[in-house]
């Protein structure tokens, strides 16, 4: 889902535990490499990665994939991103795919920086924040995303061994999964119920819909500060 005004979703993700477990950015980039992006996820500075997507659904998927790893702060910024000295939106979109994120500019990056900085300062269990022109919509999107993320965050490895074999929206998978894992269909059913997998996927579209609203009306003023990739 891409917003009516062509807004973009910038995800700035930095590591929480680099001192204890070392730099894991390359692992994150591998994890996200198959997802559709406007600007592929890439290292920005230090133990941080940034990417740009056009779909709110993909933004939700990226955020939850990072949450599953339990080692990332996630900031989502909603707003435009352009390469420097771009004269048209068409040229901008064509150039962004090959752009170094550190050379890009735009309010989407400003909002993502604000969001990840706030996620870093948060004492909440789920270090995720959303920022954009419509602050109320951003707060609502953040609340729903964090609730879904709480479900993802608390799953066990045994539950993930089942869930990773499931395809959303496809019926009759439990017998095949049970056979593949060497467990009973009842155990598969219990793992699905216990992990709230169906509830997660039912809520994902709501989170994406709220993210699409964060750009606000065209008359809403953008962020009033320049982008600083180091967040200082």
pLDDT 10s digits, 122-131: 988 999 999 9
Is residue 229 very low, low, confident or very high in pLDDT (cuts 50, 70, 90)?
very low
Higher pLDDT, 221 or 193: 193
Average pLDDT over residues 196-201: 96
pLDDT 10s digits, 15-51: 987 777 788 999 999 999 999 999 999 999 889 999 9
- The predicted pLDDT at position 7 comes to 75
DSSP states of the chain = ---TT---EEEEEEES-HHHH---HHHHHHHHTTS--SEEEEE-STTEEEEEES-HHHHHHHHHHHHHHT-EEEEEEES--B-TT--SHHHHHHHHTT--GGG-BSHHHHHHHHHHHHHHH--SSS-EEEE-S-HHHHHHHHHHHHHHHHHHHT--HHHHHHHTT--TT--S-HHHHHHHHTS-HHHHHHHHHHTTHHHHHHHHHHHHHHHHHTT--TTS---SS---TT--
Asked whether the predicted pLDDT for residue 2 surpasses 90, the reply is no
pTM score, two decimals? 0.85
Asked whether the predicted pLDDT for residue 102 surpasses 80, the reply is no
Asked whether the predicted pLDDT for residue 100 surpasses 80, the reply is no
Asked whether the predicted pLDDT for residue 188 surpasses 60, the reply is yes
Average predicted confidence (pLDDT) for the chain: 87
Asked whether the predicted pLDDT for residue 162 surpasses 50, the reply is yes
Q: Which domains does the chain have, with CATH numbers?
A: 9-138 (3.30.70.270)
Higher pLDDT, 228 or 140: 140
């Amino acid at each position: 889902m891409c917003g009516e005004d062509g807004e973009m979703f910038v995800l700035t993700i930095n590591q929480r535990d680099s001192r204890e477990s070392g730099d894991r950015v390359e692992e994150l980039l591998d994890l996200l490499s198959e997802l559709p992006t406007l600007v592929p996820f890439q290292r920005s500075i230090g133990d941080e990665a940034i990417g740009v997507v056009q779909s709110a659904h993909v933004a939700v998927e990226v955020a939850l994939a990072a949450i599953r790893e339990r080692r990332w702060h996630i900031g989502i910024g909603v707003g435009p991103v352009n390469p420097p000295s771009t004269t048209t939106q068409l040229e901008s979109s064509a150039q962004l795919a090959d752009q170094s994120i550190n050379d890009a500019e735009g309010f989407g990056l400003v909002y993502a920086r604000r969001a990840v900085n706030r996620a870093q300062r948060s004492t909440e269990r789920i270090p995720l924040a959303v920022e954009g022109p419509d602050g109320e919509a951003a707060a609502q999107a953040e609340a729903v995303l964090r609730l879904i993320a709480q479900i993802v965050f608390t799953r066990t490895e045994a539950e993930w061994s089942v869930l990773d074999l499931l395809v959303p929206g496809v019926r009759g998978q439990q017998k095949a999964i049970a056979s593949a894992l060497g467990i009973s269909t009842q155990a598969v059913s219990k793992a699905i119920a216990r992990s709230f997998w169906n509830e997660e996927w039912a809520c994902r579209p709501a989170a994406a819909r709220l993210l699409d609203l964060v750009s606000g009306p065209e008359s809403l003023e953008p962020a009033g500060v320049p982008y600083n990739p180091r967040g200082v």
